[in-house]
């Protein structure tokens, strides 16, 4: 197969995953929240078990008027939703779905690349906050920037622990080096990475930047129609990326109970959706953290725990 054709097929596969997996997660979230909170709409939209709820939401967003505030910086305001989406698309390019060629673009420094592009999300938050010419948006953007910059440190430290254990920055190499006993050895790093990942994508209980009871809707207050839908889509893609990274780094990726490489992609997807379910579960289970609680958790709990895990990993590697 020509190299250019293979590249097109790989990119097309990643685009399909980018457009379908977040929608599946969104549909699952509607159903999980409907069951946990007794919501009627998502259980009846379209008839059988509310199968059309996501379609109804899409039609609703398309019908809404696209409004840009008079005093807004129009170019930056309109560009922000795209900036929120693109980093997650780039991250999906290098996350392996299975062994061999089941990855958009294999990189020897895949972990470094993913962490770098995911960190760009703070730019979209600041762009939307500043360009909206709204004080609530600006306050939400400042909260978001403080949160994202703070939780970036434990996220990177936790990822560095498993990379040190595997001896590589390649995401595929980490999966190949993974062993079941890592579930115990790297458990603290997994908890730190997962919690910091939730904060990075601003999911409850880490949703202070969009606290509706205080800031209307934070940095997204002035967005309507499809631009607002793009921000929501970025949130769901973020869930997929964090769940996929947690799977690849700490849960063995495509490794499963049966040594069948042909089913590797299936094990990866099962683990990704299991982690995504936990993310949704946390949304309906825990109240929003106050700003002081959020920062205290980051600097007094997660960072020391991640540093201790790094020391443990270094000691075990030296002993081996």
- CA torsion sign, 100 to 103 to 106 to 109? negative
Can you read off the two tokens belonging to residue 168? 């590589």
Question: If you ran DSSP here, which 8-state letter would residue 81 be given?
Answer: H
Alpha-helical runs (H) found in 251-302: 264-283, 291-296
Task: Dump pLDDT digits (tens) for 285-296.
Answer: 888 888 888 889
Determine the average pLDDT of the residues in 193-213.
86
Q: What is the pTM of this model?
A: 0.90
Q: How far is CA 288 from the centre of its chain?
A: 18
Question: If you ran DSSP here, which 8-state letter would residue 109 be given?
Answer: T
Task: Dump pLDDT digits (tens) for 252-269.
Answer: 888 877 766 677 788 889
The rounded mean pLDDT for the chain is 85
Q: What's the distance, Cα to Cα, between the start and end of the chain in Å?
A: 42
Can you read off the two tokens belonging to residue 27? 């549909």
Query: Under the phi-then-psi rule, with left for phi > 0, alpha for psi from -120 to 50, and beta for the rest, what region is 260?
Result: beta
pLDDT attached to residue 260: 63
Can you read off the two tokens belonging to residue 71? 């005093």
Residue bearing the bigger pLDDT, 50 or 182: 182
The domain spans of the chain are: 69-319
CA dist list (Å): 207 to 7, 84, 136, 167, 287: 38, 16, 14, 35, 10
125, 94, 108: which is closest to 18 by C-alpha? Answer: 94
pLDDT level of residue 245 (50, 70, 90 thresholds) = very high
Q: Are 268 and 260 in contact (CB under 8 A)?
A: no
149, 150, 179, 137: which is closest to 162 by C-alpha? Answer: 179
Determine the average pLDDT of the residues in 265-290.
88
- How far is the C-alpha of 186 from the C-alpha of 192, rounded, in Å? 10
String of b and e for 288-310 (b: at least 16 CB within 10 Å)? bbeeeebbebbeeebbebbeebb
Question: If you ran DSSP here, which 8-state letter would residue 243 be given?
Answer: H
Task: Dump pLDDT digits (tens) for 26-77.
Answer: 888 888 888 777 777 777 777 777 777 777 777 877 777 777 788 778 888 8
Query: Under the phi-then-psi rule, with left for phi > 0, alpha for psi from -120 to 50, and beta for the rest, what region is 64?
Result: beta
């Amino acid at each position: 197969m020509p190299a250019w054709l293979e590249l097109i097929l790989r990119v097309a596969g990643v685009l399909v995953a980018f457009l379908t997996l977040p929608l599946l997660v969104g549909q699952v979230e509607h159903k999980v929240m409907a069951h946990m909170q007794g919501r009627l709409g998502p259980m009846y939209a379209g008839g059988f078990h509310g199968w059309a709820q996501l379609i109804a939401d899409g039609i609703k967003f398309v019908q809404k008027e696209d409004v840009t505030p008079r005093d807004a910086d129009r170019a930056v305001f309109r560009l922000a939703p795209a900036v929120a989406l693109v980093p997650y698309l780039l991250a999906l390019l290098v996350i392996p779905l299975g062994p061999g060629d089941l990855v958009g673009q294999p990189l020897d420094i895949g972990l470094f690349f993913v962490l770098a592009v995911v960190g760009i999300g703070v730019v979209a938050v600041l762009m939307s906050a500043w360009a909206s010419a709204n004080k609530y948006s600006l306050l939400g953007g400042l909260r978001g920037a403080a949160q994202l910059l703070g939780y970036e440190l434990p996220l990177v430290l936790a990822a560095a622990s498993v990379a040190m254990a595997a001896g590589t920055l390649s995401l595929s190499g980490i999966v190949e080096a993974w062993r079941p006993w890592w579930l115990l050895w790297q458990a603290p790093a997994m908890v730190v990475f997962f919690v910091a990942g939730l904060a990075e994508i601003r999911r409850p209980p880490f949703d202070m930047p969009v606290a509706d009871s205080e800031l209307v809707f934070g940095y997204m207050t002035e967005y309507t129609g499809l631009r607002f839908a793009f921000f929501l889509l970025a949130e769901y893609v973020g869930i997929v990326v964090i769940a996929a990274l947690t799977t690849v780094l700490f849960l063995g990726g495509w490794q499963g109970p049966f040594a069948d490489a042909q089913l590797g992609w299936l094990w990866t997807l099962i683990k990704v959706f299991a982690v995504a379910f936990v993310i949704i579960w946390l949304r309906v289970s825990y109240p929003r953290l106050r700003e002081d609680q959020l920062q205290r958790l980051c600097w007094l709990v997660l960072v020391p725990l991640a540093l201790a895990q790094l020391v443990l990993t270094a000691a075990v590697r030296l002993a081996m």
